Chain A
Amino acid sequence: MSTQNNPNQGYNSTPDLTEEEVQRISDGFKIISMKMKNAATGEVLWQCDDWNLREGEVKDVRFPKKILECSEVSRELVFQSGEEIKYFQLLQRIKFHGQEIESLYFRFGFVIPGSTNSWDQVIYADTEGMMPAEVLSGNLVVETLFMSGDTVVHRSFYRIFYE
């Protein structure tokens, strides 16, 4: 079985990048868009084509409540990189009232210089009951770290509202 996306098997040690290299990767990196889709039907539920967050900025996003009713939600992230990145990985932390409740890891590996790339991740619903939108809305913050090996090249935050 493929274990490449097991967070316990992330890159153990990757060559250190110089400050200049990190800066170049960071400058050339840009998230283009984010889309939330009903994975069962392909229907786009929410979309943002202007997702250029500055370092440390917290963006407010307003998802339709019906996103919580989908049994499978597909999230598509499109990003550009000017530079080649050898050990590209993503770590996402979801915080509820400031407390980390979940984290997500994905290893991309190699990123082609001058590339535009998309990543779709499907999130499945459990059959058990869940917190209502009113409780979650405004209290969920998603922190996304894009890394080259252990070095963070892009960090962004978004706060989720349901309406």
Chain B
Amino acid sequence: MGLLKLLRSLKKNEKEARILVLGLDNAGKTTILKALSEEDISTIMPTQGFNIKALTQDGFKLNVWDIGGQKAIRPYWKNYYENTDGLVYVVDSSDEVRLKECVEELQSLLAEENLKNVPMLVFANKQDLQFALDAEEIMSHLQLMEIKDRTWTIQACSAVTKEGLQEGMEWLVKTISEKK
């Protein structure tokens, strides 16, 4: 095995999906991505643009786009909606103060034409923290039960302990593949 063959195999016609990961700054989007690809998560800086990661899951090649969540960057999110097969919305479950802001951003995403019908996974992240709200509480704050126009789920997780990450991604890929 070596480089020539390695490169050749890039052209295999795999099942591909584009996943968009959004959420407020400090929600843990980049940390989740790094944890999913077994990388070191000790020195993660706020994302000042995008991070694209290729992951494989259940025979799917996922191109995962994590876009910075700082307020100044959010107006640029709309440039990344097109062709999205799955949306991941990451919530810092320990940040009760900013839940309102978190709900508002979600509402405006759900109203986007380019994200219409796109399945959504909500990660209720940071469950390792003592005062984190559980998934049920996050679900009620985000008014997820009112979403009728797409398939969605909420998954409690911790990017630090990796709990719940795999389950969430498995749901998303299964849902995307059923839709395709």
Q: How far is the CA of A78 from the CA of B117 in the complex (A)?
A: 32
| Stretch of B37-45, B120-128, B132-140 at the chain-chain interface | B37-45
| Stretch of A11-19, A51-59, A109-117 at the chain-chain interface | A109-117
Q: B40 — which chain A residues lie within 8 A by C-beta?
A: 42
Asked if B48 lies at the interface with its beta carbon under 8 angstroms from chain A, I say: yes
Asked if B9 lies at the interface with its beta carbon under 8 angstroms from chain A, I say: yes
Q: Is the CB of B79 within 8 A of A110?
A: yes
Asked if A123 lies at the interface with its beta carbon under 8 angstroms from chain B, I say: yes
Asked if B18 lies at the interface with its beta carbon under 8 angstroms from chain A, I say: yes
Residue of chain A at shortest CB distance from B2: A130
Most buried by A among B38, B68, B80, B85: B38
Q: How far is the CA of A142 from the CA of B80 in the complex (A)?
A: 28
Residue of chain A at shortest CB distance from B53: A120
Residue from A40, A120, A129 within 8 A of B52 (CB atoms): A120
Q: Is the CB of B7 within 8 A of A114?
A: no
Q: Is the CB of A110 within 8 A of B7?
A: no
Q: Is the CB of A118 within 8 A of B48?
A: no
Q: Is the CB of B37 within 8 A of A74?
A: yes
Q: How far is the CA of A40 from the CA of B180 in the complex (A)?
A: 28
Which residues of chain B (6-64) have a CB below 8 Å from chain A? 6-10, 12, 15-18, 37-40, 48-56, 63
CB distance from A146 to the nearest CB of B (A): 14
CB distance from B172 to the nearest CB of A (A): 14
Which residues of chain B (55-83) have a CB below 8 Å from chain A? 55-56, 63, 68, 73, 76, 79-80, 82-83
Q: Is the CB of B9 within 8 A of A1?
A: no
Q: A112 — which chain B residues lie within 8 A by C-beta?
A: 48-50, 68, 73, 76, 79
Encoded as 1 (CB less than 8 Å from any B CB) or 0, chain A from 10 to 37 comes to 0000000000000000000000000001
Encoded as 1 (CB less than 8 Å from any B CB) or 0, chain A from 106 to 138 comes to 001111101111111111111111111100100
A-B pairs under 8 A by CB, number: 122
Residue from A2, A94, A124 within 8 A of B16 (CB atoms): A2
Q: Is the CB of A117 within 8 A of B50?
A: yes
Q: How far is the CA of A104 from the CA of B50 in the complex (A)?
A: 20
Asked if A147 lies at the interface with its beta carbon under 8 angstroms from chain B, I say: no
Q: Other CB < 8 Å A-B pairs besides A1-B15, A115-B49, 20 of them?
A: A1-B17, A2-B85, A39-B37, A42-B39, A81-B49, A102-B7, A104-B7, A108-B50, A109-B79, A109-B80, A110-B80, A112-B50, A112-B68, A116-B49, A117-B52, A120-B51, A120-B53, A126-B1, A130-B1, A136-B3
Residues of B near any A CB (own CB < 8 A):
1-10, 12, 15-18, 37-40, 48-56, 63, 68, 73, 76, 79-80, 82-83, 85, 180
Residues of A near any B CB (own CB < 8 A):
1-2, 4-5, 37, 39-42, 68-69, 71, 73-74, 81, 94, 96, 101-102, 104, 108-112, 114-133, 136, 140, 160
13 A-B pairs with C-beta separation under 8 A: A1-B15, A2-B16, A2-B63, A81-B49, A109-B79, A110-B80, A112-B68, A112-B79, A120-B51, A120-B53, A124-B6, A130-B2, A131-B2
